[in-house]
Amino acid sequence: MKIAVFKAAADAERLKRALEIRTKVFVEEQGVPISEEIDAHDAGDPSCLHVLVEVNGTPAATGRLYRSGPSEGKIGRMAVLPAFRGAGTGMAVLDVLIKEGWRLGLGSLVLDAQIHAVGFYAKRGFVAEGSTFLDAGLPHKTMRLRRLD
């Protein structure tokens, strides 16, 4: 498993592969409109870090992290292609994003989890907050992880 952390402006080819994964998972599989999937953080946000996991040279999973406040980061757009689910690929993405958030000195990380994935994020200490809400027509829950040190 090869994991790359990059900024969009510095690596257009990896960004293209990450967006292809997200399109397959969110747009094709889950029916999210492409206009809601691709946003300004994908190309124009210099604080945004993307992660791309490749298995034997094949793009498998992705996610991103950007600064959402003075000491807060937002994790999002986590997607794993079906052939790679259940093998720890998604957790590898999440672990890298958490590590990068702490490396940047952020005090907390927040994400909007699809309801079926709440347990996945809870395994790394994320705690659900507030009410369930719809994002792109899918039920989500905000979750937060606070840095303890």
Q: What is the pLDDT of residues 77-93, one digit of tens each?
A: 999 999 999 999 999 99
Instruction: Domain 2-107: give its CATH architecture.
Output: 3-Layer(aba) Sandwich (3.40)
- The model's pTM is 0.93
Q: Which residues pair with 28 in a beta bridge?
A: none
Q: Domain boundaries in the chain?
A: 2-107
Distances (CA, A) of 148 to 70, 106, 107, 120: 17, 11, 8, 20
Give the residue carrying structure tokens 């094709």.
28
Give the residue carrying structure tokens 């998972």.
25
- Residue 108, Cβ density class (10 Å: 0-12 exposed, 13-18 middle, ≥19 buried): middle
Kindly tell me the number of DSSP H helices and DSSP E strands found in the chain.
4, 7
Instruction: Using a pLDDT cut of 70, give the percent of the chain over it.
Output: 100
The pLDDT averaged over each successive group of 10 residues in the chain (149 residues) is: 83 92 95 89 88 93 95 96 94 96 96 95 96 90 91
